[in-house]
Amino acid sequence: MTTSTTLPLHAGDAAKAKPHLDRARQCESAGDRDAAVEAYRAALTEHHAVDTVFSLARLLDRIGEDDEAIELYERICFGKKPPVNALINLAILYEDLNELSRAERCLRRIVDEHPTHPRARMYLKDVMGVTEMTIDADARQQELRKNAILNTPITDFELSGRARNCLKKVDIRTLGDLLRITEAELLAFKNFGESSISEIKAMLAARGLRLGQALEGGHDQAFRREYLDYLKTQHDEAVLAISVSTLELSVRAKKAISLLEARTLGELACRTEAELMGLKNFGLTSLDEIKLQLANHGLSLRPLE
């Protein structure tokens, strides 16, 4: 159905519309809704009154003509002083269509002017509850999709045998592992050459990704904080809080730790072997020193997985 008039509100002759309105109400009382709709339409062609628009919209709403009902409700609700019932009915229709922000705006217009209006407050609470549930569900769904992507095994991607073997040797097994390691760190590993790096970068670029992406924008600090929280459940916090300045290390190893900005044993244990090996002039001797000091306190460097 479509509306039969586009007259501005209040336009026309109310006296000419009255017989049609009387008939519309009689038909509606008798249960003849189709005849009532036609009578309301006829009344609107004579006088485009807010009450008549509301009555027709309410009747169309009841018989399931939601699209036209919404159009009519919107016509009177977008004014300065819309009927409260029109705003409530329009909000309910919006909610049914899952247009929650529109429903909320309608109800807030009522509550802003009538703060204690019981129906408006009740419906607004319902809409806000559905909105929060929708946001939570969307967030969970996005998190699940993200985790599914990050946990995709490297074996699922088209890479040469050499590139696969190189990644396997450094314990990089998923897409997420690649996003948490930099190009410099990969190159620090033995037998990891430019050709394998180029191949891996091309594979990531084809998916809009890049090496070390998860370490950008502060994500690396968040990841390390999460791992440190895990360590606190497994080790004595007093041990984790020991200052690295007390460790017996060579000047080169101490400089490496300084570059990583690791101040405690816990912070040092949150770093990976790949991060250390990616530092300039850092070799296996220094790595062994640090691993030994951590082992003396029952700790080890964080694994890539």
> Per-domain residue ranges for the chain?
14-138, 154-211, 217-296
**Six-digit token string for 121:** 């407050």
Homologous superfamily of the 154-211 domain (CATH): 5' to 3' exonuclease, C-terminal subdomain (1.10.150.20)
At 39, the pLDDT band (50, 70, 90 cuts) reads: very high
Residue 297's alpha-carbon distances to 236, 240, 244, 300, in angstroms, are 10, 9, 12, 9
Look-up of token digits 């007093």:
238
70-84, 169-183, 211-225 — which is least confidently predicted?
211-225
At 299, the pLDDT band (50, 70, 90 cuts) reads: very high
Mean pLDDT comparison of 78-82, 140-144, 294-298, highest-scoring range: 294-298
User: Strand pairing partners for 51?
Assistant: none
Q: Mean pLDDT, to the nearest integer, of 293-299?
A: 92
Assess whether the region 154-211 and the region 217-296 belong to the same CATH fold: yes
Distance separating alpha carbons of residues 302 and 231, to the nearest angstrom: 10
CA dihedral for 185, 191, 194, 197, sign (positive or negative): negative
Q: Does 22 have pLDDT greater than 90? A: yes
Please report the pLDDT score of residue 292 as a whole number: 92
What residues have CB less than 8 Å from 272, skipping those under 6 apart? 181, 185, 301, 302, 303, 304
At 145, the pLDDT band (50, 70, 90 cuts) reads: low
Distance separating alpha carbons of residues 271 and 1, to the nearest angstrom: 67
Distance separating alpha carbons of residues 287 and 284, to the nearest angstrom: 5
At 294, the pLDDT band (50, 70, 90 cuts) reads: very high
From the CB of residue 112, how many other CB atoms can be counted at a distance below 10 Å? 9
CATH architecture of structural domain 14-138: Alpha Horseshoe (1.25)
Q: Does 67 have pLDDT greater than 60? A: yes
Burial class (CB in 10 A: 0-12, 13-18, 19+), 253: buried
State the fold for domain 217-296.
DNA polymerase; domain 1 (1.10.150)
Instruction: Pinpoint the alpha helices (H) of the chain.
Output: 14-30, 33-46, 50-62, 66-77, 84-96, 100-113, 118-150, 161-169, 175-179, 183-187, 194-205, 219-234, 237-240, 251-260, 265-269, 273-277, 284-296
